[in-house]
């Protein structure tokens, strides 16, 4: 029953985050268009050659244009305007909120209050993001650095991966491709642990853990403010 409740709750969170599967070779924008998620007659976003979102999106029906995070497609606040009004340049530099740390085009924060994976994801959603996805060695090292904190240790911490829907079919809850891994051990199809943690073991690898266990965690979200120079 516990696993069923966890799976149902994860399903609700996935519906909010629109995760795409591990074996997808397309960016989220192209994936969602191919799945006909946007339907007929509504706004359909523009994708780049990698299948990610074009930084500036425009709707011909309303005339509005706005900036988005190119990986998730989420609108960057305070960037929407109609042609002729003062336009935000989506190519200009973006900044993160206070206490958040910038890496590339995204903002991260480490929360050292232990929560279950579902509680942690809900917290990140409330902050306008998701549990963090990781896409390279450098990004993994950066996030490990965030978790180090004042103790100069590396606690096991939740990130946004889960395979509760189908065992060994990992997805990021922010909808980005699961295109990188730093695994401690091989997959075990029969296990009951379906949520992803970092800093496992003395080599600080990724590992699966029971979703109802509590861990500190890392959130990610798009830049929140654009500064024009």
The predicted structure's pLDDT at residue 215? 96
Indicate whether 141 belongs to any domain.
yes
Please give the DSSP secondary-structure letter assigned to residue 60. T
Indicate whether 53 belongs to any domain.
no
Which of 9, 6, 207, 45 is CA-nearest to residue 125? 9
In the chain (229 residues long), the average pLDDT of successive 10-residue segments reads 48 50 65 76 83 87 85 78 69 74 86 96 94 92 86 88 84 89 70 86 88 96 54
| Cα–Cα distance list, 95 to 34, 53, 224 (Å) | 32, 19, 7
The predicted structure's pLDDT at residue 60? 84
- Three-state SS at 196: strand
Indicate whether 47 belongs to any domain.
no
The predicted structure's pLDDT at residue 16? 43
Indicate whether 176 belongs to any domain.
yes
The predicted structure's pLDDT at residue 7? 53
What pTM was computed for the model?
0.62
Tell me how far apart the 2 most distant CA atoms of the chain are, in Å: 59
CATH of the domain at 207: 3.10.100.10
């Amino acid at each position: 029953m516990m696993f069923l409740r966890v799976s149902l709750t994860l399903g609700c969170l996935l519906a909010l985050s629109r995760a795409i599967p591990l074996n997808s070779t397309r960016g989220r924008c192209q994936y969602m268009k191919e799945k006909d998620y946007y339907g007929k007659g509504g706004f359909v976003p523009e994708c780049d050659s990698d299948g990610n979102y074009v930084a500036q999106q425009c709707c011909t029906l309303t005339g509005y244009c706005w900036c988005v995070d190119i990986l998730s497609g989420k609108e960057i606040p305070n960037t929407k305007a109609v042609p002729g009004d003062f336009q935000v340049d989506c190519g200009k530099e973006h900044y993160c909120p206070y206490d958040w740390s910038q890496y590339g085009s995204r903002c991260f924060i480490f929360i050292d209050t232990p929560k279950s994976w579902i509680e942690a994801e809900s917290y990140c959603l409330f902050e306008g993001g998701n549990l963090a996805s990781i896409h390279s060695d450098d990004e993994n090292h950066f996030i490990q650095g965030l978790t180090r904190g004042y103790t100069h240790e590396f606690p096991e911490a939740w990130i946004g991966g889960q395979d509760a829907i189908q065992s060994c079919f990992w997805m990021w809850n922010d909808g980005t491709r699961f295109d990188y891994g730093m695994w401690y051990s091989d997959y075990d199809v029969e296990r009951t642990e379906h949520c992803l943690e970092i800093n496992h073991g003395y080599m600080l690898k990724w590992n699966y853990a029971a979703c109802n266990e509590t861990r500190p965690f890392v959130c990610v979200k798009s830049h929140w403010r654009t500064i024009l120079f």
